[in-house]
Structures are given as C-alpha cells and as structure tokens.
C-alpha cells in the first residue's frame, strides 16, 4: 500500500546541496539521516557545525542537530525516502563521471524496503535516473523496480534536479519552483508529496528524462548567454569599442538583455553541465559546444592582456583582484580567476599581490615567494598593474579616480561601468 507520510528521510551527500536540503527538511520536524563518505563532514555536522560556507546554514544545522531531527553517518540506514545529492563532475574528454552516483545508489540499494522512494537530485545526463533503477535491481533481485514493474513497482524513483544559487541556497530551496520527473507517474506523484513538505513554490511534474534535460538546459542557457557577452567583449577589444557602454546601450532595447562578460565561467555547474548535452548529442549540440569553448578561451584572452601590458614595465607589480569563481563568495572551485593568477605566477610575469577578502591564506598552488595575499588598499597602492578577476562588491567601492597612473585590466567591468 502507498504511504502518505514520510517519517524518516535520508539524504546521501552532505555538500552544498545535500546539507541545506537535509537541514530544511529537519526544520519541518521530520527525522533526517544524512549520509556522507567524509568522516570529517559527518563529525562536524554531528557537533551542530558546518564544513561549507553558505549564509544561514550554520544556524539551521545547529538547531536541527540540537533538536535531534538531523544526524549524520557514513553508512546508509533504512528510511522512507532517499535523496541522492552527490557530485557529477566530468572526466577526460568532457565525459560525465557517474561513479559517485553509482556508489551512492549501491549503498542505498542495500537498505531499501518495499514502498521506498528514491530521488536523484544531482545534475545528470539524460537517462541516468533509469540507470539508477537498473543498478538497484542488480543489487536487489528480491524487489521490483520501475523499469521492470512500471507503476506497480515496489520502489519509486524520480529525478528532481537542484537549481539553487550558491549564496542564496536556503531561500531558493523554499522559494524556487521544482521540476519533478518520475520514471512513472506514480513515482513523480510520490516525489511531489516529499517536496511539498518544504517547497512553497510550484512542484511541476514530468518524466525523468525531461527533468534531466531541463536542468542541463537551464545551465546551458546561462552558459550560451555568457558566451555571447564574452565573445562581444573580444570583438569590441579588436574594434576599439567599450563593451560595457555597448551592452548598456543595447540593453535599453526592450527585448535585449545581454549578460556580463568576465574572466571566464567557473564553478561546478554552468561550466560543466553543457558538456553532458554535448556528450549525449555531439553532432546536434553545436551552439552549446561552441559556447563552452568561447567561455573557456576567455582566461587566455585576459592573460594575453596581462602579458602585453607587463612587457612595458621594467618591474611589473601586479595586483590580481579576486580569486573566487564569482562575486561575494569564498568558493575557489574551478575558478578562472585562480587559473589566470596561477599562470601569471608560473610565468613569473612580475611581483604579485593577490587581493581576495574572502580567504585567510593562499591555496598551496599560488603560495610562492613572489606572491603575497594582501588587503585591498595595500594591493592597489603597491601595484602598477591592476587586474580585476572577480567582481566582489568591496572592489566596486574603489573610485577609479584614486587609481591614476596605474594600468587597469578590468576583466569584470568593475570600473569600466562607471
């Protein structure tokens, strides 16, 4: 018989998506068991603390752990529903790496009971949710899965991609619409019951393949639009036009809304997910592939500017402003700003001041004798070349007029926009 309530929900993967989701569900009074392979993460969470940076998450986790509604462990335990939120990076040749999902699925399969719901939240190539059904059936021949039994299956499986913006996760988890794709309609309906526990917006039902493609489409849409802005910036550089002024003017058209050029596209999402579409339909995904290539070429374009300008100085002193992959966060993962700074360091283009107000020490690969992590004022003062790589709010407060006599390579348009 179909259950109507969830007494215990397990979240597999306690990272940027899994931990906030676990804490929000626990805050609704449901028992949540979080599972992670990292003992450090598990121990930190069980002390009511967090191992990642996300506004308001610390308070939420602390209260969920204190009230006994959330606990973490390294081994899967039985539950009514399982939410899988593990990473899906790509491997060589931009091929999706599903090994984290497969490992999580096999762990969950071992503790499954009739009537359980399994939800995949990780961004995944089309067909992954059906793969999960097959992987689970290999481990549990005693149970019937949706790819075998359809709506009569013992286990229900759905894909509900996360789509929250880092830095706003807690509010977007509750406020964003959700796309819920079931392998069967019954799978989708059951997953919808779960999301209604904490989502205030619409929970839109579809099939699993469409839900998988919807998530990849959202991030590819963003990537293609950023690529358009980045390509414009390269064209304008060649034609001697200020791209920021150009975009401001073009955006005054009622149906034009161009995004911001930058130092490249970073993070684990927008720079990765479009490759999953390219991998599934290499012949057809021409625009999506080209957009990836345009965005990935932008760091080299910025570097070339630095090399050219530095060659004109006897003693180049370069202030690199920002390491994070985007504004006002401390996340350096897959950051074009880090890649550019690292190249400047490796090529020993000059003395280097790194200004990144969100970190306390330099990552090992940037920590060299001719490199210093400095405060903003100190870095600006000492430099003869300033390169803006991340558009942190604090950088925007600096007045361009105070930087007279310095050469500025403003990859993020912080001051160009003035």
In the complex with ligand SAJ, the residue whose CB is nearer, 218 or 381, is: 218
Distances in Å between the alpha carbon of 90 and those of 87, 192, 272, 327? 10, 29, 7, 24
3-state secondary structure of 240: coil
In the complex, what is the shortest distance from the CB of residue 212 to ligand SAJ, in angstroms, rounded to a whole number?
A: 13
In the complex, what is the shortest distance from the CB of residue 15 to ligand SAJ, in angstroms, rounded to a whole number?
A: 11
Six token digits for residue 257 = 């809304």
In the complex with ligand SAJ, the residue whose CB is nearer, 163 or 289, is: 163
- Identified catalytic residue from 215, 298, 320, 326: 215
**Which of 172, 169, 179, 158 shows the shortest CA–CA distance to 200?**
172
Six token digits for residue 227 = 């690529």
Query: Does the annotation mark 215 as catalytic?
Result: yes
Query: Does the annotation mark 236 as catalytic?
Result: no
In the complex with ligand SAJ, the residue whose CB is nearer, 90 or 313, is: 90
In the complex with ligand SAJ, the residue whose CB is nearer, 177 or 378, is: 177
In the complex, what is the shortest distance from the CB of residue 64 to ligand SAJ, in angstroms, rounded to a whole number?
A: 22
In the complex, what is the shortest distance from the CB of residue 137 to ligand SAJ, in angstroms, rounded to a whole number?
A: 29
In the complex with ligand SAJ, the residue whose CB is nearer, 79 or 179, is: 179
- Please tell me the number of Cα atoms within 13 Å of 232 on its side-chain side: 20
Cα distance between residue 323 and residue 167, in whole Å: 16
Distances in Å between the alpha carbon of 199 and those of 14, 30, 191, 342, 349? 19, 14, 12, 41, 51
Binding site for ligand SAJ (CB under 6 A): 123, 162-166, 218-219, 222, 226, 259-260, 262, 265-267, 269-270, 325-326
Distances in Å between the alpha carbon of 205 and those of 76, 165, 176? 28, 22, 14
**Which of 364, 366, 365 shows the shortest CA–CA distance to 353?**
366
- Identified catalytic residue from 160, 187, 269, 320: 269
Catalytic center residues: 215, 269
């Amino acid at each position: 018989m179909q259950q109507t309530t969830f007494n215990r929900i397990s979240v597999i993967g306690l990272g940027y998506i899994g931990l906030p989701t676990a804490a929000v569900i626990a805050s609704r009074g449901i028992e949540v068991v979080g599972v992670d392979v990292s003992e450090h993460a598990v121990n930190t969470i069980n002390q009511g603390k967090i191992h990642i940076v996300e506004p308001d998450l610390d308070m939420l986790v602390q209260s969920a752990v204190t009230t006994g509604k959330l606990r973490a462990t390294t081994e899967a335990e039985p539950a009514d529903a399982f939410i899988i939120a593990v990473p899906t990076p790509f491997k060589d040749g931009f091929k999706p790496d599903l090994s984290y999902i497969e490992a999580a699925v096999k762990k969950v399969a071992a503790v499954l009971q009739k009537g359980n719901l399994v939800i995949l939240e990780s961004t995944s190539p089309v067909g992954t949710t059906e793969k999960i059904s097959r992987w689970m059936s290999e481990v549990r021949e005693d149970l019937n899965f949706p790819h075998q039994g359809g709506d009569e299956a013992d286990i229900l499986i759905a894909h509900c991609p996360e789509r929250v913006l880092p830095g706003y996760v807690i509010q977007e988890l509750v406020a964003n619409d959700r796309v819920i794709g079931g392998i069967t309609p019954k799978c989708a309906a059951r997953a919808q019951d779960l999301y209604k526990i904490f989502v205030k917006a619409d929970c839109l039902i579809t099939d699993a393949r469409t839900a998988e493609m919807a998530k990849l489409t959202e991030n590819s849409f963003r990537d293609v639009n950023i690529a358009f802005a980045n390509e414009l910036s390269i064209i304008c550089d060649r034609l001697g036009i200020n791209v920021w002024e150009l975009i401001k003017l073009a955006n005054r058209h009622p149906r034009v809304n161009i995004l911001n050029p930058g130092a490249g596209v970073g993070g684990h999402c927008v720079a990765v997910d479009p490759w999953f579409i390219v991998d599934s339909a290499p012949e057809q995904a021409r625009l999506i592939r080209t957009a990836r290539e345009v965005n990935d070429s932008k760091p080299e374009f910025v570097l070339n500017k630095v090399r050219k300008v530095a060659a004109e100085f006897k003693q180049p002193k370069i202030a690199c402003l920002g390491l994070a992959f985007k504004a006002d966060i401390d996340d350096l993962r897959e950051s074009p700003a880090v890649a550019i700074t690292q190249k400047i360091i490796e090529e020993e283009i000059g003395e280097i001041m790194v200004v990144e107000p969100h970190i306390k020490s330099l990552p090992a690969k940037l920590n060299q004798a001719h490199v210093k992590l400095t405060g903003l004022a100190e870095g600006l003062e000492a430099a003869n070349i300033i390169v803006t790589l991340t558009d942190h709010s604090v950088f925007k407060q600096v007045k361009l007029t105070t930087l007279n006599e310095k050469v500025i390579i403003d990859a993020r348009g912080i001051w160009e926009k003035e």
